[in-house]
Structure 1
Amino acid sequence: MPGTYTEAQIAATIDHAVLKPDFTRAEVDRELDIAAEWGVWSACVRPSDVGYAVTRLEGSGVRVCTVIGFPHGTTSTAAKVAELRRAFDEGATEFDMVVHIGALRSGEDAYVRDDIAAVVEAAGGLISKVILETSYLDEEQIARGSRLTEEGGATFVKTSTGFAGGGATVDHVRLMRASVSPAVQVKASGGVRGLDAAIAMLDAGATRLGTSASATILGELRARLAGDDATGAEDTSSY
């Protein structure tokens, strides 16, 4: 979708992040309501919040995504699989797993690939995403991690958790996009806090955005479109 974007198109790329470890129930409620209000693709919640989120979002059209092995990726493969199965049983339909970052940096490709493949198999055909945590990696490791993600059968390769002191960059999104076939999509996550940043990630090749700033991004787009309309711009349907 290079070039121009409608509000509906941007909303359909967003996994609204509800992952802060200190969130109270009231704060989780607020974030889930934001996801429903703006009609984003999914709310990505903490594993312990999956069942609650499924109930609260029922009828909204917003899917429930959760994280696996989050945020460090160092739990065992068996633990990641068990975590996914519990989340599946509670109604999650998308799963964002963290790669074993140390194993990837160590060149333990077989371990990384098998870890991904086990989680993908447990997902049973539902959408699976692999978080590389790019702020810890050099370009070779990002490219190799992207290829291992594809070899493991995942649907997406994803930049970041947002909890490692760095987030998505346009250059890293482009590198990830260039490192996998069209069968694998790219999710930009971490630091995507405004409309311009969101559009830059999409134009670089991402097809999904992980952000807690959904209302800001979509609100900025709505305001720009309204401003275009007020000034008599020819095209007010997209940005």
Structure 2
Amino acid sequence: METAFIYQHIDHTLLKAVSDWEQIQILCEEAIQYHMASVCIPPSYVKRVYEAYGDKLAICTVIGFPLGYNTTEVKKAETEQAVSEGACEVDMVVNLGDVKNGDFDRVTEEIAILKKAAGDKILKVIIETCYLTEEEKIRLCRCVSEGGADYIKTSTGFGTAGATMEDIRLFKKHLTGQVKMKAAGGVRTREDLEQFLKEGCSRIGTSSAIHILSKGQ
């Protein structure tokens, strides 16, 4: 698999709480240099990045991150602000309390509300697979599909585990419509990157793509 092709599917990510502006700038410049799909950054940096780089790169940010238990109203406001400040993609975290309570209608409703708030921008839904049973994952595939989201995403990268091939294969069986898949968390080798793409992921979220892909070159 060509290295350039892999880069085109990477959401170049920096979401650490202590990320400073210099680090964010490096991230953005790398994403531009390697023609990555987007940079995924904290909401507080969206406006500054847009002002500095404009349309040179796609800006992705996170909503209700990383625990997902913000109220829907707060997530909606976060989404609206992110879009108004220049984000063209938003990755929201579902309310795992709703999931554990079996309130999947509420999960679907929240996804639909945030998709409406995002408008024509891309909405990715992080379900944090490491905390879920297989049945919950299947039900969430339905929520994401029915809620009108553009992507389902495995993980925040802040949970107890990240993306697995088994989860991606499960998603493929149970997603409907045009929902795409994003793997994130624990992607550490070129083999990981290639396998997730071969399994059908359209995006991979990682902070390590350049380190991984520069090995042996």
TM-score when scaled to structure 1? Answer: 0.87
Matches of 1:86 and 1:28 in 2, distance apart?
A: 19
Please tell me whether residue 53 in structure 1 is matched to residue 32 in structure 2. Answer: no
Please tell me whether residue 112 in structure 1 is matched to residue 98 in structure 2. Answer: no
Matches of 2:140 and 2:80 in 1, distance apart?
A: 24
User: Contact 2:4–2:34 at 8 Å: present in 1 too?
Assistant: no
**Unmatched 5+ residue regions in structure 1?**
224-239
Secondary structure, aligned partner of 1:192:
coil
1:151-175 C-alpha deviation (Å, 9 max, x unpaired): 1000000000000121000101111
Q: Match for 1:199: what amino acid?
A: E
Give how far 1:37 is off.
Answer: 2.0
Give how far 1:125 is off.
Answer: 2.1
Matches within 5 A, 1:1-239: 5-58=1-54, 60=56, 62-220=57-215, 223=217
1:140–1:40 distance in 2 versus 1, CA, 3 Å: same
4+ residue stretches of structure 1 with deviation over 4 A? none
**Unmatched 5+ residue regions in structure 2?**
none
User: Contact 1:194–1:216 at 8 Å: present in 2 too?
Assistant: no
1:180-222 C-alpha deviation (Å, 9 max, x unpaired): 02511010001112211111111222111011012123324x8
1:18-53 C-alpha deviation (Å, 9 max, x unpaired): 111111222222222222221101001100000112
Secondary structure, aligned partner of 1:58:
helix
RMSD: 1.4
Matches of 1:106 and 1:161 in 2, distance apart?
A: 21
Secondary structure, aligned partner of 2:157:
coil
Matches of 2:149 and 2:105 in 1, distance apart?
A: 15
Matches of 1:178 and 1:202 in 2, distance apart?
A: 16
Q: Percent identity?
A: 39
Secondary structure, aligned partner of 2:31:
helix
Give how far 1:59 is off.
Answer: 5.3
Matches of 1:201 and 1:179 in 2, distance apart?
A: 17
TM-score when scaled to structure 2? Answer: 0.95
Higher Rg: 1
